[in-house]
Structures are given as C-alpha cells and as structure tokens.
Amino acid sequence: MLFELCWWFVRHHLGNDMSKKRLIIPIALSVLAQSALAQAPAVATMQTERLFDFDAVTAPSGWLIAKSAPSEPNTLLLTPAGSESLYIDVTVDHTAKYYIWVRTYAPEGRYNDYYLKVGSEPEKQITAFTTHKVATEPLRWKNIYCEDTSNCSRGIYLAKGTTRLQFRMKEPNLGFDKIIVTAQPNFQPDGFGQDASIQASIPARPATTPAWVPPNSGVPTPDAPRLLLPKDYPLDALKAAEQDRTTAVDEEHRQMQLAWTKLRASANRTTWDSCVQKRNSIMAKALYYRLYGTASMGSGAVSALNEYLDDCHAVKNAQTGAIDIPGTRPTGEGILTSALVYDWVIAPQGPGAFVAEREKIVRRFLERAAMEVGFPPVQNSIAGHGAEAQLLRDQLSAALAFYGDYPRIYEIVGQRFFSDYVPVRNYVYNAGGFAQGTSYGPYRYQWDMFAAWIFKRMNKDKALADQDVFSNTQEQQLYHSLYQRRPDGQLMRDGDVYHGSYTDVGRYWTEPTPFMLAASYYQNSTLKREFVRQLNAYKAQRPNELIFNRTDGDEEAYLWLALFNNRAVKSAPDVDTASEWPSLTRYFDLPMASMIARTEWTKLTDPAKQPVIAYMKAGYARFGGHQHRDAGHFAIYYKGILASSSGIYSGLQADRETLQEYNSKHDVNYQKRTVAHNALTIYQAGEVFDHRSEVVNDGGQLFDRDDQPASLAALQSDAYAYGRAIKQRIGLNNNASEMRPAFSYLKGDIGKAYSAAKIDNYQRAFVFLNLEKTTVPAALLVFDRLTPASNLTARPKWLMHSVTKPAVPTVPGTEFSTTKEFTVTTANAASKLVNRTLFPASASAETVEGFVVDGHDFPSYMDKESRSEELGAYRVEVTPGALPSGESHYAMLNLMQVVDGSNAALPTTALTDTTGNIMLGALIDNRAVYFAKSALPVTVQTTLKLDAGTYNLLVTDLATGTWSVKGPSGTVEKVVEESHGTIYLPATAGGEYVLTPVTLQ
C-alpha cells in the first residue's frame, strides 16, 4: 500500500518527466500513508520569535508529509494539486512590525509560487526560491516580503492578539518546512532554523580594515551604571539641588527649583494621561532610584516601562483600526528611557535581577533601534536626521546601558560614532558656526553636546586627555548665534528658520538647551550669559509659563536642566565696556567661510543701543539639508531688517490652512533657491536642476538631488565645493581696540556653486565699514567679478530682497531705473538702506514683487500676522549692460549705506587706478576701498590717487609678498599675507600712492 501511494504521488505530479522522477522518488518513498487520509483541516497555533515546524500541523485534505531530501533530516508539508488551504494562527504579544520567514522547497526548478494571506491583508503571491545545488542545499529561507532571499527589512504591522496565516497552493509539489514570525528586523534564520534569540538578532558589526578599536575615551567602564550618572559619581550636589527649598535668588535658580519640583511630582505619579507623561515619569522614577536607592522608585520605573514598551510604540487605533506608528524622535526618546532604567535600576542589581524585563527591553530596542538612521547606523552623519539624537544620544545611551550583557551593540554604535561622527564634527567645528543655519544649527548641536556629556561623565576617572571625545573647538559653535542676535530678540536668518513661525514679534527667540549644555560643559561664562538672557526674557514675556514646558506635555528637558546645569558657572556681566565683549566682527572659518560684523553689541540692559549687523557669506562647502543655495548672500539689519533672504520655511499654502515646510513647492522652488537671496543669478533658458522633484529654473546655484555629502572625504571634495580661495581680514582702526574693527573683509571664489555651462569664474568680495557715525553708522560694499562661459548670452542679475517695497526711480512708462540707486526703508521708518551701483557705468534696476520664479508664483503665508516671520516679498534685480567689446568679464560694485531715520546718505565716488585698467573702487566719507578688476591677484605696479584730505585706505586683491608703498609722507614696506591679500593704511593723507611689488611669493 505504501509503495502504491508513493507511485501514485509520482505519476500524479510528475507525469512522464523522468528527470523529475529521479529527484522526487527519495522524497516520495518517505510519504506517510496516513497523511493522505487526513481528516478535516485544523488550525495550528504558533508563537512569535519561536521556530515552528509545518509537520506539526494537522494537514488539510490532500497535503502530504514527506521527507525532503537525503541531506535533510526534516519532513515537509507538500502541496498537491487541488489541496485545501492551510491555516496557522500566530499569537502576537505586542503590536509591532513583523517579518515572516518561511523555509520552502521548490522542486520544479528555481521558482515555485504559492499564496499567503496575512490577517485581513489581501492575499499575496509568494515565489519560493531553491538552488541548483539540490543535494547540498535543497531548501531556502525567505522573507515573504522580499523579492529574493536577502533580508530586505520589509515586513507587516500586526496588532497584539491573534493573526491568521492562510497558505494556499498555486503550483503543486511545493514543500513547506519551517516558519518563524519575528519582530526582529536584523534576524535572519539559516540552516535548519533557530529561534529569534537576542544574540541571533543583533547584527554583525560592519567590517573595517583594519578592525576598529575604540580610543581610550570610547572604552566603556566595566561596571554599571555608565550612563550620565555613572558608578561612584558624586551625587551630593544633585541631592542638595533636589532638596533646595530656599527662596530663588534669580531666574536660573527658580528654573532649577521648578525642574526638581516637576521631576518630583512626575516620579510620584502612578497614573498617566499620555505616553509622553508616562515616559517622563519613568525617567524621573529611575533618577530618584539612582539618587536615593528607593526600592519603590526602582520597581515602579521597571513596571511602568514594561507597560510603556507594550502600549506606547505601535498602537492600534480604536476608531480607524489602523496601527499608529510614532515618529523617529518619540521612538528615540523611548529608547533613551529604556536605557536609563536598564542602566540606573536593572544592571547594577546583577544578572539575576529582572531577567524577563532585561530581555524585553533589549528585544524592543532591537526592534526599534533603526529609526531612520539604521541599525547598524548608515544614515548621513553630517546633515539630515542622522545628525540628530538617533545615534548621538539614543543609540549611544542604549549601547552603553546594555554593554555588560550585550557588548556587540556598543561595538556597532561606537564604531560608527568614532569612525564617522567624531572626525567630521571636529572638522566642521573649525568654522565656529552652523552650516545648517539659524534654527537647525543649534538644535542639532545639542545632540553633539549630549554625546560629549555621555562620554565625559563615563570617563570621569580616566586621564584628562581621555575624557573628551570631541575637539575643544566644539565650545565655539554657539558664538554663531551670539553674533546673529538682533536687538529685537530675533536672529539673523540663515538656512531653514522655524523660530519665527511660532514666536510673535517683540519676543526673544529661545533655544535654551544647547546653551545650557555647552556653558556647563566648558564652564563658559559668555554662553552662560546667553542662557540666562533667554531665561529672563522668557519670564518677562510669558510670566506664567515655564521656558522648558512644551505644549505636548513633554517635560524631558527638566531632567537635562537638573542633570547638567551648573549654577557655579556664572554669567558674564552685561557691561558697556567693549573690552568685556568679543570682537564685533567674527569670521566663521572653513567649511563655512562666512562673516558677521556689528557696530555694537546688543544688551538687554540698554535695548536702545542699536547695532548695524551685516551677515556675509562667501560659501565653501555644500552640506545640503536645511542649508540654502546662497553662496555670496548678505543680510543687513539696523532698527529693522533692511536686506535679507525671502520666503519662509514653515508657512501655509494659498488656502491659509495647509502647512507647507520641507520639500514643499515654496521650499524647493523659491525659499531654498538662490533667487530668494541677495546673491547673483544668471538665467539660461533650458537649464535643468537635477533635484529629487521637478523644480523651476531660477537661474541660480546648483540644486542637486544628491545634496548631502555622506562622509568627511565627500564634504572636502570638489563635488561638494561651493567656493574656494577664501580671503578674509578683520582690520583695526589706528590706535583702536581690536574689539571695534574699522573694516571687515571677506572674499570667496564661488563659481563652483553654479553650472559650469554658465560661469567660468566668479568671485564675490565684501567690505563692511564701521563709519562710527550716528547718521550713517555703516556701509557695505559688494564687488562681483564674473567671467561668463564663452557661449553664454544671458547677463547676470544682482539681487537684493526687502520686507518693504523699495523706492526705485524709473523711466516713465517702464519698470526700469535710470539712476542706478534705490532705497529700502524699514517698516517703522527708523532706518533705511541706500544702494548705489558704482560699476559698471551702464546698469538698470527692476523691482519684482511676490515669490515669482521663471513666470511662476510660489506664495507662502504666516498662520498669524503677529508672528515674527519676515516674508520679504520684494526684490530688486540690478542688471549690468552688455559687455563692451574686448571685455571678458563683468565687474559690478554696489555700495550700500545704512542710514539712521530720515538723514541723508553720504556722497560716494567711484574710483579707479590712474590707468583705469588695474583697479576700481569706492570712496565714502573718509574710507577708500580698491578691488582688482582681474580675477587674478595684482602683481604689477599700481598707482592710486586720492584728493586732498585724510583717509583710511584699503587695497585688496594683491599678490602675497612684500610691497613698497610710496605716498605723500614717504615710502614704507608692507607684507601682504596670503590669508587676506590686502594693505591697509589708516589715517593717511590724500595724494598719489604707488604700490610696487618687492618680493612676491
């Protein structure tokens, strides 16, 4: 009977194909007779994370149990023609994304298909793969959601409860061996299969040559706790702060007391209104256990976390039935919470404590660790969300917390951190500023500071040189924000700015956490002053609100205030002596190459003291992300914004309801583009910008889809270069303090920012002059030297944007200026900007209103008129005349005067050298400035002539070396340094000056 059954199986399924018969006969001979006579099908039940054998199923009618192959000890369920469906119920203990792996045998060759229906999802056709090496590997594992046998990380969200799997035959003879349903994205079964244990679910550390070895600063300490409050960390100061009930002596003290009040109340909570509130409470309980060892706090933290892990990640929506998935940031905060409980409460109690809880915490981490950055982390470490908390705080915290039990997790995270994150940050820190701009720069910097604090605290007992993981230049980053601060409480705009979207006019823009973290870490009184300013300003503007209180109820920042703020670091005084302040001009070095110059510092004690602030950007490297295409941009503020970028990052569409932010039409067609900045455009019809989405032609700088460098080497390469050959100098007045520079000079070669089809060479230079006058306190010269591509017929346009409509005198009946001068006045008429185009001799100006690009309008609107956004819906476009015969490049010099109130602008004079061929420049007040007409540094004798008087003379674009300067008062030698290429002669008499190279390098 058994032989007859086997022969029936072979004839029925293989017909006369003897090549297949030879293959299948060993299988058929092991068929159990009783399987063919199986009764009505039953439903099998399996658990997630556990390997399940198909031959444990009571097979439906027609299904056969067979030996798979001589090399296989297992038996299979085979699908004969016309068989009924096979059902397996999967018990799911928590809502999550699951991966379904099935081990199958496809005897028909390489492919066999079957149908699988998962829960209420539509039925899916699955292709089972086999291999040509049938004798050695006849069966293969496959994630059913992947096209091949690799682990592609695709899966399906299953709600807590029971999910039914329905297998239905499509082609006969397909054999099913084993199945595993797992929430572990990095688990991949092999061989005969295994359970999805934690060790099997931790991915391998990415291989490097040579193998990565952590530096001394990156070697975890042997015993827990390690995280933020490590073993033997002195807790007395924290306990004293927690127990402080004295009357607050200042706002910082009051905020510290409020933080502890919030933490105390949160730790004592036993019921919660939201997952955010529960997460705050868990961290507070863990903190109090770490401080005082109170058993109820420790067990309460573990118990609440156990609930949180089940109820607060992926949750089935009761109304829609859909599974709501939290975003990257709340997922990371959940990982951090788990890490604190594991490190502060569980791990110090030894391996026998909380065994089940340990496994659950680590499993849930492995399920969710990828977020966006990936696990192992692969996302960009320079810009984007990969440069935020995901690795720098959340994964690092978990890796150190789990280190004693699962060291490979730290090896994975630590390797990426020390190999990629640290080197690129140390390079970027050279700039002392933020390439990601006004808002996202400080926001992302705080995550760098968290990583710094994590290792600083853990390394407290190591040698001093092994305590810090970053260069000490990290301390200087927030000075960028200090120089951007305006007297109205706002900041000069740079990149994508979100603060104005929720802060009303007249209120101080705040980002307290990065200042608090850095001021305490580096014991920096200047940064502490800004932190205290933000506290005081917030209290004055919102006396009934707390600066760290978020509208979503997330009070996590109170934990950081309690853990990191050091009240012993005192604020620098708000004094009026210039020597107490940093220089009024600061150069932000490579890879930023920008400069901010001021005429005064802004003091809350003297808000009437209004500075002129000029922001100048040469541009050097393209970071992408929230950075704009604005190499060469400038902005000017005085008693209101006079010249700035336009458009807004966070606004509303034309319906005044729909939010538009990153990658909106307004964002990619206008706000991020060169046309929205005070820069140069050259419109070439038909130019295509290879962005991720279709975008219009603004005539501006490159806007590539691959806009974020993936490594330090890429960032430093020509592929991501916006500019090169940076020159800069901060010049002193005669007998004046370095704190009040007479001039601030910046030049960049930014031709690489544009298509080579349009530009052969382009340099932009800035000279900011502190005129020390009440009527006209400052002036800014912008000199453009541009050589177009040989076949280009379009002319460049010099752009300047304003919030108010500029006054541009026009020819009757046209939109074009004849005077080469225009004026912009602040909304309150407190100041104005007067621009004069001194070169070339022929130029015209046109006013454009709205967010118009290439004939298309891309508007954006504020949600409330009270917000402190600056839309800047006007721009002036200055276009030079056609190049004269024989000229190969444009030379454009614009001089902007910052004028107080209704005062008149100062007279200005266009200057050239005596031949008119080598240099050109401008005279305003007693300041004379010269630039080279050629793109190359001047290497020949040059004669300059000034009328009678006393002048401060600045000559730029000179070749490096020693120069002789012969003037009315005699001859002197000046050394021209490569870093700036300038000669400055303060308080010099009018007359003829002959500059002669002596020794050039």
Tell me how many degrees the CA angle 829-830-832 measures, rounded to the nearest 5: 75
- Separation CA 437–CA 649 (nearest Å): 12
Supply the pLDDT for residue 135. Answer: 46
Segment 921-928 shows an average pLDDT of 97
Least Cα distance to 475 among 452, 501, 509, 504 occurs for 452
Mean pLDDT within 600-619 = 82
Q: Distance of alpha carbon 127 from its chain centroid, rounded?
A: 40
Structural contact between residues 402 and 342, judged by C-beta atoms closer than 8 angstroms: yes
Q: What does 143-175 look like in DSSP terms, one character per residue? A: ETTSSSSS-----EEE-SEEEEEEEEESSTTEE
Give the integer Cα–Cα distance in Å for 281 and 748: 52
| pLDDT tens-digit readout, 76-128 | 888 877 778 889 999 999 999 999 999 988 776 556 788 999 998 998 888 77
Same domain, 1000 and 949: yes
Q: Are 384 and 377 in contact (CB under 8 A)?
A: no
Residue 323 lies in a domain: no
601-610 contact pairs (CB < 8 A, 24+): 602/485, 602/486, 602/487, 603/574, 603/576, 604/533, 604/536, 604/537, 604/574, 605/574, 606/576, 607/487, 609/487, 610/487, 610/638, 610/639
CB neighbourhood size of 969 (10 A): 10
Cα 92 from Cα 47, distance rounded (Å): 7
Tokens found for residue 994 = 């002959």
Higher pLDDT, 746 or 149: 746
CATH of residue 1001's domain is 2.60.40.2750
**Nearest by Cα to 850 from 860, 835, 841:** 860
Reply yes or no on whether the pLDDT at 35 is more than 70: no
Output phi, psi for 660, to 5 deg: -135, 125
889 and 925, same domain (yes or no): no
**Each residue's pLDDT tens digit, 318-356:** 777 788 888 899 999 999 999 999 999 999 999 999 999
Q: For residue 816, count other CB atoms closer than 10 A to its CB.
A: 14
Instruction: Show which of 146, 166, 196 is a domain's final residue.
Output: 196
Is 767 contained in some domain?
yes
Question: Is the same domain home to 799 and 854?
Answer: yes
What are the structure tokens assigned to 570, written together?
Answer: 């005192």
Helix axes 328-341, 275-292, angle to 10 degrees: 30
Burial class from Cβ neighbours inside 10 Å (0-12, 13-18, 19+) for residue 135 reads exposed
Assigned domain for 507 exists: no
Torsions phi, psi of 779, nearest 5?
A: -145, 155
* 948 & 816 share domain: no
Choose between 29 and 859: higher pLDDT.
859
pLDDT at position 886: 83
667 CB contacts (<8 Å, ≥6 apart)? 496, 647, 649, 660, 661
Q: Are residues 879 and 999 in the same domain?
A: no
The whole-chain average pLDDT of the chain stands at: 89
Cα separation values, 574 from 523, 530, 579, 606, Å = 17, 10, 12, 9
The Cα 381–Cα 625 span in angstroms is 12
| Confidence at 38, pLDDT banded by 50, 70, 90 | very low
Rounded CA gap, 222 and 199, in Å? 20
Same-domain check for residues 848 and 731: yes
- Residue tagged 């933080």 (tokens): 259
Q: How far apart are CA 523 and CA 475, in angstroms?
A: 10
* Average pLDDT of the residues in 128-149: 68
More confident residue, 884 or 96: 96
Task: Confirm whether 302 is domain-assigned.
Answer: no
Is the domain of 880 the same as that of 934? no
**How wide is the angle at C-alpha 327 spanned by C-alphas 322 and 328, nearest 5°?**
145
Two tokens at 731?
């010049």
634-637: strand order across its sheet: 585-588, 594-598, 613-617, 634-637, 641-643
Residue pair 993/971 in contact (Cβ under 8 Å)? The answer is: no
Going across the sheet that includes 821-825, the strands are: 724-731, 743-749, 759-770, 778-788, 890-900, 831-839, 821-825
User: Residue 408 domain-assigned?
Assistant: no
pLDDT at 36: 37
Residues 752 and 899 in one domain: yes
Peptide bond into 591 cis (omega under 30): yes
- Give the whole-angstrom CA distance, residue 246 versus residue 28: 86
45-86 pLDDT, tens digit each? 999 999 999 888 877 777 888 776 656 677 888 887 777 888
CA 584: distance to chain centroid?
Answer: 29
Residues 683, 744 share a domain: yes
Q: Which secondary-structure segment (H or E) carries 267?
A: helix 251-267
**In terms of domains, do 836 and 973 share one?**
no
Claim to verify: residue 852 and residue 964 sit in the same structural domain: no
What does the pLDDT read at residue 9?
Answer: 37
Considering the chain, what percentage of its residues have pLDDT values greater than 70?
90
Which residues, including other chains, have CB under 8 Å from residue 641's CB and lie 6 or more apart? Answer: 635, 802, 803, 826, 870, 872
Overall residue count recorded for the chain in this entry: 1001
Task: Enumerate the β-bridge partners of residue 898.
Answer: 778, 833
When pLDDT is cut at 50, 70 and 90, the band that residue 22 belongs to is very low
End-to-end alpha carbon distance in the chain: 101
Give tens-digit pLDDT for 743-797: 999 999 999 999 999 999 999 999 999 999 999 999 999 999 999 998 888 999 9
Cis check: omega of the bond before 407, within 30 degrees of 0: no
The three-state secondary structure class of 634 is strand
The C-alpha atoms of residue 337 and residue 344 are separated, in whole angstroms, by 11
Is 611 among the domain residues? yes
Asked if the structure places residue 391 within a domain, the reply is no
What is the domain extent for residue 971?
Answer: 910-1001
How far apart CA 1 and CA 4 sit, in angstroms, is: 5
Q: State which H helix or E strand residue 377 sits in.
A: none
- The structural domain count of the chain equals 3
Higher per-residue confidence, 142 vs 130: 142
User: Which of these three, 157, 174, 196, is where a domain ends?
Assistant: 196
Q: For residue 131, what is the domain's CATH number?
A: 2.60.120.260
Single-letter amino acid, residue 150 = S
Tell which phi-psi region holds residue 6, choosing left (phi > 0), alpha (psi between -120 and 50) or beta: alpha
pLDDT over 80 (residue 395): yes
Relative to beta strand 44-47, strand 86-92 is parallel
Which of 849, 883, 906 is the last residue in one of the domains? 906
Structure confidence by residue, pLDDT tens digits, 284-305: 999 999 999 999 999 999 999 9
Which whole number is the average pLDDT over 268-282? 95
Q: Could you give the CA distance from residue 467 to residue 456 in angstroms, rounded to a whole number?
A: 5
Pairing status of strand 942-955 against strand 927-932: parallel
**42 with 151, same domain?**
yes
Is residue 383 assigned to a domain?
Answer: no
Three-class SS state of 412? helix
* Residue 811 scores a pLDDT above 60: no
